[in-house]
């Protein structure tokens, strides 16, 4: 999904010049992942859809001001997280897991109804404290590296590594496998800048 650094630089340049095709390319690369992230954070399809629209409108408005070395994944997930946090402050969004059907069809399109392990994983993720869920979603599901996740979360990389280790342990415990090594918690697809 990620292009070479030269391709990213060219895409930044095209976005800064207002090239609509560049925006479509960026959307094609990151829309599904950013929606899945928002859906897992919000736990409600309608909320995630509204936030997703706000995120991409914001990205379109600010694309002309991108720095030449912009890390697309970190930037897009930062915008998504900030929109979620703002919406929660405005509307007191309920905890994830309130729309199990929506969580069932996230990202890959596969239905967790067909896979009890997937259902259990989604349920366990939804039960975690937000700080743990966020880092696991960014690194384990969306495929960001720890430095990108740290940028999204506004923390130092060493703090992100520590939070990730704790989150993996909490997920293993939530899955009922407290004896599992934190490194054995499954991860999803790779998305990077």
pLDDT tens-digit map of 131-154:
999 999 999 999 999 999 999 999
Q: 22-32, pLDDT tens digit by residue? A: 999 999 999 99
Reported as a single tens digit per residue, the pLDDT across 58-78 is 999 999 999 989 999 999 999
The neighbour count for residue 183, using CB atoms within 10 Å, is: 8
User: In terms of pLDDT, which residue wins out, 191 or 127?
Assistant: 127
Of 14, 1, 15, the C-alpha closest to 56 is 15
- Return the closest-CA partner of residue 193 out of 6, 47, 13, 62: 6
Q: What integer pLDDT is reported at residue 191 of this predicted model?
A: 47
Fold topology of 5-184: Rna Polymerase Sigma Factor; Chain: A (1.10.1740)
Distance separating alpha carbons of residues 75 and 96, to the nearest angstrom:
23
Q: Reduced to 3 states, what is the DSSP secondary structure of residue 49?
A: helix
pLDDT at 42 over 80: yes
Residue ranges of domains in the chain: 5-184
Nearest residue to 172 via CA among 184, 160, 187, 163: 184
Compute how many other C-beta atoms are within 10 angstroms of the C-beta atom of residue 26. 21
């Amino acid at each position: 999904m990620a292009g070479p650094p030269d391709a990213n630089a060219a895409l930044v340049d095209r976005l800064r010049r207002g090239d609509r095709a560049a925006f479509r390319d960026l959307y094609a690369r990151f829309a599904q992942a950013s929606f899945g992230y928002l859906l897992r954070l919000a736990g409600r399809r309608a909320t995630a859809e509204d936030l997703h629209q706000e995120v991409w409108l914001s990205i379109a408005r600010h694309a002309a001001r991108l720095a030449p070395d912009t890390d697309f994944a970190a930037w897009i997930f930062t915008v998504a997280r900030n929109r979620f946090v703002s919406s929660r402050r405005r509307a007191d969004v309920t905890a994830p897991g309130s729309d199990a059907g929506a969580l069932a069809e996230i990202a890959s399109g596969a239905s967790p109804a067909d896979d009890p392990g997937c259902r259990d994983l989604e349920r366990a993720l939804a039960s975690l404290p937000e700080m743990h869920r966020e880092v696991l979603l960014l690194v384990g599901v969306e495929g960001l590296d720890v430095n990108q996740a740290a940028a999204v979360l506004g923390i130092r990389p060493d703090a992100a590594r520590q939070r990730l280790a704790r989150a993996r342990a909490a997920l293993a415990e939530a899955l009922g496998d407290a004896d599992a090594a934190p490194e054995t918690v499954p991860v999803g697809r790779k998305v990077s800048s």
